[in-house]
Structure 1
Amino acid sequence: MRPFASRAHAGIRSLALALSAGLISVIASQSSTAAERIDDFGDNPGDLLMYLHRPADAAAGLPLVVALHGCQQSASVFDDETGLVALADEIPFLLLLPEQQEANMFNSCFRWYDTDDNQPGLGESASILSMVDFAIRTEGVDPDEVYVLGLSAGGAMTAVLMANYPDRFAGGAILAGLPYGCNRPVNAFDVGWYWRHTFGLDGIDASYACGIVVSSLTDRDPEDWRRFVLDTLPAEPAQWPPISLWQGTGDETVDPDNLQELTEQWTALHGIDTVADSREEMGGIVREVYSGAAGDPLVETWSLDGFGHAVPVDPDGEPETCGLEGAFILDADICAVRRIAEFWQLR
C-alpha cells in the first residue's frame, strides 16, 4: 500500500476539491458491480484495484475496453450507469475497470498529475498496463484491439496511457479531461508557469489545476503539446491511435477550452491540421472530425452545449436505451459510449 500521507501535497488537495466542486455526491450504494474483482493480476506499483466484466458469450479474440472512472467514483458506478456493460454484452467486448483506492488519493482520483504515476513503467500507469496484459494473457484478448476511455481524472489518465504506450492501444476517448503534460512548464524559462506553480492562482496550485478551474487554463502551442508526449517515449510510434474527445460547454469543473487544447495535442501527434474536415450539428451537440491523408478519421470532437461535468447517456433512447443518470453521469439524449465504440469501429 502507498500511504497517502507520505505523498501529501497541498496542490493535490486543491486539485481534488476543484474536480469535485459543484457536483453532487457519489451514489450511496457502491457495493455491487457487474464485474469480477481480480486480485492477482501481476505487478501493481500503483496499488490499484482491478475489475473485469465478461460478456455472456465471451470467447478468445475479443476486444478489450479499459474504462477509467472520475474522482469520487468507483468501478461499481462506472459500469452499468455509463451503458458500458450493456454495450459490452451487445458487441461483445471484455470490459476492464481499474479502480483507485482512497489510501492512494483521498478523493479517489487517478494520479494523472504525478510523475511517479504518469510515466511509462511507473506507478498507476504501469498498474493499468499490467491489468491489460493480464486480460490478454488469461482471457485471450486480441492485443491489437485494446481501447481506453475515461472521465475527468480518468480522462486525464487515459491521456497518460495513450501517451505512455501509444502502440498498445487501438483507440482512446477522453470525456471532460485534460491534455497530457498540461501541468508542466514549456521550458526552463517559462516564468508564467513558475509563478503559478510557486504562488498558486486564486488559491489553487495551478501546477496541478492545469485548466481544471475556469480561468486557469494552460494554453500551449500544438507543437508544445506534441513534444510533451514525445518526451516520454524512446521513439515515436509508426502510427498514433485515433481518439474521441468530449466536452460540455457548461462544465464548471474542467475548463471547456481544454477541448481545444486536446484537439491541438492529438492533431499535432497525428500530423494533421486543426481544421475540421467535417462538421455535424445535432441540436446543441456539435461533432467535428479531423481526418488523415487517406480520409480516415483520426480525431473526433464532441461539444455539448450547456452540458456539465459528466458522461453523456440516453436512458430513454430509441431504439436502444443507454445508461442511468447518477453522479457524473447525465442525460444528454446521446449515448457517448456507443458513439465512441462506433468511432473505434467496434460493432
Structure 2
Amino acid sequence: MIKQRKSLVFLMAVFLLSFVLVGCSQSGTEFTQADDILSGEVTVAGTGGSDGLEALAPSPVSNARVEIDGQEVKTDSNGVFQFEDLEPGEYEISVKADGFRKSTQQINFEGGEKLDLEIELEEFDGASLAGDFISKTYGSGWGGGMDYKVYIPSTYDGSEEVPLVVMVHGCTQNPDDFAAGTQMNEIAEDENAIVIYPQESDGHMNQCFEWWGDQNRDQGQASQIAGMTEDTIADYSIAEDEVYIAGLSAGGAMAGNVAALYPDIYNGVAVAAGLKYEVAGSEMDAFTAMSSGGSNPEAAGIRAHEDAQGNDEIMPVMVFHGDADHTVAVVNGHQVLEQWATTNDLAYDGQNNDIINDTPDEVINDEVPGGRSYELSVYEDPEGNPLMQKYIVNGMGHDWSGGDHAGSYTDPTAPDAGELLMSFFAAYHNNDEDPEDPEDPEDPEDPEDPEDPEDPEDPEDPEDPEDPEDPEDPEDPEDPEDPEDPEDPEDPEDPEDPEDPEDPEDPCYTDEVTATVLDHYVAERIDVTTYNELGLEIGYDAEITLYKVDGDWVQEDELPGDCL
C-alpha cells in the first residue's frame, strides 16, 4: 500500500487520532466509562516543536464518523463524540474522516476502566475530488504494483455511505475503454456510487488478467484487487455491505475468483462471458476451457468454499452470457452458476445438501424493446429471496450485455448488465436486512394491513383516533368506513360515484394506464429497481395497472386506503 505523506522541512507530519477523556487532566489518549456512557475527542496532532519552531496545538476533527458495534455518531465542532448504553465487552472501533484513511482498532471495554488508545491516520490524495476519474497504484502484494482508476460521482460528498463497484476489464481493454463501454460511470452518477477499475499491470501480451492456475487468498492478482478494494473502502465513505465486483471475459473469470476468495469483502458478483472458479490449470488449458468448459462445477464450488478459509458468506450472483459467444462458449456461463450454487450451499449451513442448488425457481423469457431476446433463470435462497440470476442472451456474441459502443466488446441491444446488477444486488441486500416486519418481508410498510392496529392510514380501523380518513363523523357508529355518505352504505368505497357529490376523494388519481411491466419501464413510469422487482414477481410481459397520484405512478396497493 502506498502511503501519501507531506514532507516538511524539519519533520514528517504525523496525523494522530486521539480519543481523550472529556474533562480529564491527564495527558494522552483515554477512554472511560461512567454509567455506560463512552465519550471522547477526535483530534489531529499538531506539528513543529523542534529546531526553534513552536509546536502547533492539536486541532479537533468535526464530522468524523465514529462507529462502535454498529452504532455510529459524528463528532461535533469540537471533535467530541459520545456513545450511550454501551455494555462492557470487546469492540472494534472505527473512524472515518474525509481526507484520511479509515482507522480501526480492537478495544476491551470494561466498566470504569480507562484505556490509552492511539490510532494513526494517513493522509491520501483524491479525497475531495468529485465527478472525476483518478489514477492510483496499489503497491503491495504479489507481483509489485497494480494500477487502477477510481471514479467519484459528482453527487458524492462523504456525508453518507455509498455503494462501491469493482469493474474488471477483459483482454485488450483498459479502465478507460471498459468504463466507456459499460457506461458504469454514468450509472454511478445516477446511483451515487463509487467505481474502481483495476488495470492488468503484469505485462501480459493481451492485457489479460491471469484467472487460470491455482487461486489463493492473499497472493496473486486476486489479492491485489482485494487490497485496492479495501483501500477504497478506507479512503471513502463506503457502505461495506454494498461492495460489488463485476467483470467481462478474463475480467469476469477474475471477478469470480476474487469474490470466491474474499466473500468477507464483496456482497455480490456479476460474471459476464466468464468462466468458473479454477477451471484451468495453465494458460494453455485456459483455451480448452474457453471453447468447451471445464469439468465438475460442483467440485470447483467446493474448492472455492475451502479457499475462502472459513469466511462463510452467501454471495448474490449474476451471470450474463451470449448464446452466440464463440470466444468463451456459453457452457461456461452455465458452469459459473453451477459452481456458485455449490459454494453458496456450503456457505449457508456448512453442508453440500442442495438447500441452495442450480435448479431455477423461475424461468422468464423476455426481450429488450427493439433489441435482443433473452432467458432469465432465477434461483432463490432458502428464505425465498432471489439469490442468483442467469441471463442467456439470444444472438449475443462475446460482449458485455448492454452498455455503449463507445467502448469495445459491448452489445447495447442486450439487457443492461450495469443497471441490472446495481438494482438486483441492492434488492437482495434490502430483503436480507429488512428489520421492520419479519412476517411480511415483501411489504414491510403495508399501510393497508388490517392486522396493524397502529396503522394511521388504515381506513378500516374504527378504533384508530388518528385515522386521517375518518376524522369528521364521530356520531356515525354504524358506518365507520364512509362517514361522509350515510345514504350510500352499500358503496362506501366508490370514488367515481356520480351520485355522491360530497365525496372529497373523488377522484383520488388523475390517470391510469394498463400495460406490461416492460412497457411501463420503457415509458419511464417505473424505475429499473421496480422493473426488476415486478419482473421477478409477476413476469416482465405481465400486464399491470398503474395510477398517477400527485405526479407519481403507483400500483393499486399503494393508493390511499379508501381510493378504490
**TM bracket, shorter-chain basis:** 0.7 to 0.9
Match of 1:273 among 343, 347, 357: 357
User: Secondary structure, in 3 states, of the residue corresponding to 2:135?
Assistant: strand
User: Secondary structure, in 3 states, of the residue corresponding to 2:336?
Assistant: helix
Aligned pair count?
280
Match of 2:287 among 186, 209, 219: 209
Structure 1 position 293 matched with structure 2 position 382: yes
User: Secondary structure, in 3 states, of the residue corresponding to 1:212?
Assistant: helix
Aligned to 2:422: 341
User: Secondary structure, in 3 states, of the residue corresponding to 1:95?
Assistant: strand
Aligned to 1:79: 179
Aligned to 2:163: 63
What is the alpha-carbon distance in structure 2 between the residues aligned to residue 290 and residue 84 of structure 1? 26
Whichever residue aligns with residue 174 of structure 1, its letter is: V
What is the alpha-carbon distance in structure 1 between the residues aligned to residue 288 and residue 264 of structure 2? 26
Whichever residue aligns with residue 155 of structure 1, its letter is: G
What is the alpha-carbon distance in structure 2 between the residues aligned to residue 300 and residue 178 of structure 1? 15
User: Secondary structure, in 3 states, of the residue corresponding to 2:382?
Assistant: coil
Whichever residue aligns with residue 345 of structure 1, its letter is: A
What is the alpha-carbon distance in structure 1 between the residues aligned to residue 181 and residue 163 of structure 2? 21
What is the alpha-carbon distance in structure 2 between the residues aligned to residue 86 and residue 131 of structure 1? 22
User: Secondary structure, in 3 states, of the residue corresponding to 2:221?
Assistant: helix
Aligned to 2:230: 133
The answer (yes or no) to whether the contact 1:85–1:95 under 8 Å persists in 2 is: yes
Moved more, 225-234 or 170-179: 225-234
User: Secondary structure, in 3 states, of the residue corresponding to 1:144?
Assistant: strand
Ranges in structure 2 where 5+ consecutive residues have no aligned partner: 1-130, 346-355, 368-372, 428-528, 530-564
Structure 1 pair 55–221 and aligned structure 2 pair: CA distance change class (3 A): closer
User: Secondary structure, in 3 states, of the residue corresponding to 2:329?
Assistant: coil
Whichever residue aligns with residue 255 of structure 2, its letter is: T
* Structure 1 residue 208 displacement after superposition: 2.5
The answer (yes or no) to whether the contact 2:188–2:195 under 8 Å persists in 1 is: yes
Whichever residue aligns with residue 218 of structure 1, its letter is: G
What is the alpha-carbon distance in structure 2 between the residues aligned to residue 241 and residue 92 of structure 1? 23
Match of 2:190 among 90, 107, 110: 90
Residues 208-233 of structure 1 show CA distances to partners (whole Å, capped at 9, x for unaligned) of 325212xx3223152x1222212313
Structure 1 position 254 matched with structure 2 position 328: yes
User: Secondary structure, in 3 states, of the residue corresponding to 1:37?
Assistant: strand
* Structure 1 residue 236 displacement after superposition: 4.8
Whichever residue aligns with residue 282 of structure 1, its letter is: D
What is the alpha-carbon distance in structure 2 between the residues aligned to residue 305 and residue 86 of structure 1? 26
* Structure 1 residue 333 displacement after superposition: 4.0
User: Secondary structure, in 3 states, of the residue corresponding to 2:196?
Assistant: strand
Runs of 4+ in structure 1 deviating by more than 6 angstroms, as ranges, are: none
The answer (yes or no) to whether the contact 1:182–1:210 under 8 Å persists in 2 is: no
Residues 4-57 of structure 1 show CA distances to partners (whole Å, capped at 9, x for unaligned) of xxxxxxxxxxxxxxxxxxxxxxxxxxxxx9621013x45243432110000001
Aligned to 1:21: none
Match of 1:230 among 301, 305, 313: 305
User: How does 1:93-172 map onto structure 2 within 5 Å?
Assistant: 93-101=193-201, 103-115=202-214, 118-172=215-269
- Structure with greater strand percent: 2
Aligned to 2:296: 220
TM-score (norm 1): 0.76
User: Secondary structure, in 3 states, of the residue corresponding to 1:286?
Assistant: strand
The answer (yes or no) to whether the contact 2:252–2:273 under 8 Å persists in 1 is: yes
The structure number with the bigger radius of gyration is: 2
Structure 1 pair 45–59 and aligned structure 2 pair: CA distance change class (3 A): farther
What is the alpha-carbon distance in structure 1 between the residues aligned to residue 135 and residue 216 of structure 2? 26
Whichever residue aligns with residue 314 of structure 2, its letter is: W
Match of 1:304 among 384, 393, 400: 393
Aligned to 1:327: 408
The answer (yes or no) to whether the contact 1:225–1:264 under 8 Å persists in 2 is: no
* Structure 1 residue 277 displacement after superposition: 0.8
* Structure 1 residue 329 displacement after superposition: 1.2
Whichever residue aligns with residue 137 of structure 1, its letter is: A
Whichever residue aligns with residue 363 of structure 2, its letter is: R
Percentage identity across aligned positions?
A: 24
Whichever residue aligns with residue 53 of structure 1, its letter is: Y
The answer (yes or no) to whether the contact 2:256–2:276 under 8 Å persists in 1 is: yes
Whichever residue aligns with residue 212 of structure 2, its letter is: Y
Structure 1 position 36 matched with structure 2 position 114: no
Moved more, 323-332 or 103-112: 323-332
The answer (yes or no) to whether the contact 1:147–1:169 under 8 Å persists in 2 is: yes
Structure 1 pair 221–70 and aligned structure 2 pair: CA distance change class (3 A): closer
Residues 256-309 of structure 1 show CA distances to partners (whole Å, capped at 9, x for unaligned) of 111221111111122212221111111321111000111111110000011100
Structure 1 pair 257–235 and aligned structure 2 pair: CA distance change class (3 A): same
* Structure 1 residue 129 displacement after superposition: 1.3
* Structure 1 residue 112 displacement after superposition: 1.0
User: Secondary structure, in 3 states, of the residue corresponding to 1:57?
Assistant: coil
What is the alpha-carbon distance in structure 2 between the residues aligned to residue 149 and residue 123 of structure 1? 18
What is the alpha-carbon distance in structure 2 between the residues aligned to residue 34 and residue 212 of structure 1? 36
TM-score (norm 2): 0.47
Aligned to 2:486: none
* Structure 1 residue 86 displacement after superposition: 0.7
The answer (yes or no) to whether the contact 2:302–2:342 under 8 Å persists in 1 is: no
